[in-house]
Chains A and B, each alone.
Chain A
Amino acid sequence: MLLPGLGPHHRDRAGGSIEPRQNGSLQSMSGSDGYGASGDPISEAEALRRLRQTDDPSAQYYAAWWLGRNRSRHPEAVPLLQEALRQRRPRDPGAGVEENAVARNAARALGKLGSPAAAAIPDLLATLEDEDHGLREAAARALGDLRATAAVPALCRRLATGPGVAGAMQPGTPRLQEPCEALLEALGEIGVADLEVVAVIRPFVAHERPLIRSAACRALLQLTGDGHWGQQLVALLQHPQLQVRRAALMDLGAAGWRPALGPIAATLAENSLKLIALRGLVETTAAPEAERGLGAATEAVLAAMDALL
């Protein structure tokens, strides 16, 4: 599970972002990796213009992020992002923007645009076959965000070889063979609870990496509603590594598993993340119908949120 983003370089999985932003305008985008200079407040027209040109990839990179962050409804946004998704470039350390970074941000932005981006689902499916691991990862998350049921067979196919192959370490890199976390999360988000889908996800609950286990439990909790998987996630809230506790928080929030209220509030992690997780418990449609709106159960979550401010 990725964490809420700090600007155009990070992915926001939990419906909230913690980048500096106030009163509707971007006040500072100073990322840790040197794109801060392009982080000025711009208009939608300017974002479209920057994405359309191809001479300056870092301007395209920012523009793609901007259109997603601001949920652009402009009719040109999706076609331009589809175009940017096809843009490939060799790694050039002097250019300021990494290999395929524009395409990755285009995929992420499409995921944020909701139903108007449905036209781009075939493009994202094609991107899921790209040889660039990071691009497959971004495409998988976008397909999950768009609840693209058409993507389920391809997502399953990428995971079908299980933890031993798809989930094996890529020699010499911190990556696995496939972007398993993103693929698993996408299957959970899309919500097709077929037995075959569950069978593909299931072996990953025993993956050696706790972040992969967390993603698998989250997807199974979303698909089956079986509290056993929620309990596994709650156990990960006690993990000695902060990174794992953070991931489990986000995953419980995304699944909206109400029994996790107490454990989430008590987790040793930043309040910002606990608040995002608890927001998930309030808002997710997976919560029983009777508990939505302003019932006592919702009030209990809100009280826990109040205490974390």
Chain B
Amino acid sequence: MTVSVSDLVAAVQRADSALGLLQATQALAAAAHPEGAACLVEVLGFNNPGAAVAAVDGLIAIGTPAVDTILTNIDGYNYGARAWAVRALAGIGDVRGLEVLEDALGKDIGPSVRRAAARGLGQLRLEALVEAERQAVALRCLQALVEGCRDGEWVVRYAVAVGLEALAPALPAAAAQQRLRQALAALSQDPAEEAPVVQLRARLALRRLSLTDAAADPAASAL
């Protein structure tokens, strides 16, 4: 016997305990059905971290068909819900989320929202775009992340380092590559940095990128 999506949604709406909500959300998320998206977005605002994690996973599993629902339902008044929504957008990587992510990293008052946005700006899926558009989007991501290096919260600067590392393969222009590496180098060496973990993460990113560069070099010379 199969359970319909509407039954799964009804179970989430009926849940009257934290555990009940968690289990019902997990079941709905596992279905990964676009019709469950609106209900999953609603769960993001319930202040139940376990259920929110499940709902984000579900929205990411639904992917592109969930993006409109997320974008139209972002809650401007609930930090937690907005952070989860930005995480879902970051995980889906749909380019329609670009503006929300830029805005969130630059202006959002909640560090958890800015940190999710920084990560998301490094992992937008750009393959489907035409070359000129792909470059333009990647440069906007780079610009937002470079500005994010000055964020007042360590966890956001940490996420910026992660975002920059992930963005690197999408940036073809040598000038942009150099700018990205300079931003990471500054994060890794800033004497005013209060969080050694940020410096370590930026160093790790630079080390991995230099390994990629080294691997790419012989191929280039063989041409």
Q: Which residues of A contact B (CB under 8 A)?
A: 15-18, 20-25, 27-28, 242, 268-272, 275-276, 279, 282-283, 293-294, 298-299, 302, 305-306, 309
How far is it, in angstroms, between the C-alpha of A28 and the C-alpha of B79 when the chains are bound? 13
How far is it, in angstroms, between the C-alpha of A81 and the C-alpha of B153 when the chains are bound? 25
8 A Cβ contacts from B106-128 to A:
109-112, 114-116, 118-119
Question: A271 near B112 (CB under 8 angstroms)?
Answer: yes
Question: A302 near B119 (CB under 8 angstroms)?
Answer: no
With A28-B109, A306-B162, A309-B118 given, is the CB distance from A21 to B153 under 8 Å? yes
Question: A302 near B200 (CB under 8 angstroms)?
Answer: yes
Q: Which residues of B contact A28 (CB under 8 A)?
A: 109
Q: Which residues of A contact B204 (CB under 8 A)?
A: 294, 299, 302
Closest to B207 in A: A294
Q: Which residues of A contact B150 (CB under 8 A)?
A: 23-24
Could you tell me the distance in whole angstroms from the C-beta of B167 to the nearest C-beta in chain A? 14
Q: Which residues of B contact A294 (CB under 8 A)?
A: 200, 203-204, 207
With A18-B112, A269-B49 given, is the CB distance from A279 to B197 under 8 Å? yes
Q: Which residues of B contact A276 (CB under 8 A)?
A: 155
Question: B195 near A268 (CB under 8 angstroms)?
Answer: no
Could you tell me the distance in whole angstroms from the C-beta of A263 to the nearest C-beta in chain B? 15
Q: Which residues of A contact B201 (CB under 8 A)?
A: 302, 305
Could you tell me the distance in whole angstroms from the C-beta of B111 to the nearest C-beta in chain A? 6
Question: A21 near B118 (CB under 8 angstroms)?
Answer: no
Question: B109 near A20 (CB under 8 angstroms)?
Answer: yes
Interface residues on B, range: 20 to 34
Q: Which residues of B contact A268 (CB under 8 A)?
A: 49-50
How far is it, in angstroms, between the C-alpha of A306 and the C-alpha of B26 when the chains are bound? 23
Interface centre among B119, B153, B159 (most CB of A within 10 A): B153
B152: Cβ under 8 A from any A Cβ: yes
Closest to B158 in A: A305
B35: Cβ under 8 A from any A Cβ: no
How far is it, in angstroms, between the C-alpha of A279 and the C-alpha of B159 when the chains are bound? 13
With A22-B152, A24-B152 given, is the CB distance from A283 to B116 under 8 Å? no
Question: A270 near B152 (CB under 8 angstroms)?
Answer: no
How far is it, in angstroms, between the C-alpha of A301 and the C-alpha of B77 when the chains are bound? 33
Which of B50, B112, B151, B162 is A22 in contact with, Cβ under 8 Å? B151
Closest to B18 in A: A242
With A23-B150, A309-B116 given, is the CB distance from A279 to B207 under 8 Å? no
Q: Which residues of B contact A269 (CB under 8 A)?
A: 49
Question: B49 near A18 (CB under 8 angstroms)?
Answer: no
Q: Which residues of A contact B111 (CB under 8 A)?
A: 18, 20-21, 272
Q: Which residues of B contact A309 (CB under 8 A)?
A: 115-116, 118-119, 155, 158-159, 162
With A294-B203, A309-B115 given, is the CB distance from A282 to B49 under 8 Å? no
Given contacts A282-B196, A294-B203, 9 further A-B contacts (CB under 8 A): A15-B195, A20-B110, A271-B49, A279-B155, A298-B200, A302-B197, A302-B200, A302-B201, A306-B119
How far is it, in angstroms, between the C-alpha of A21 and the C-alpha of B201 when the chains are bound? 22
How far is it, in angstroms, between the C-alpha of A17 and the C-alpha of B110 when the chains are bound? 11
Closest to B105 in A: A22
Closest to A306 in B: B162
Question: A21 near B195 (CB under 8 angstroms)?
Answer: no
With A16-B153, A16-B154, A270-B49 given, is the CB distance from A279 to B195 under 8 Å? yes
Q: Which residues of B contact A302 (CB under 8 A)?
A: 197, 200-201, 204
Q: Which residues of B contact A282 (CB under 8 A)?
A: 196-197, 200
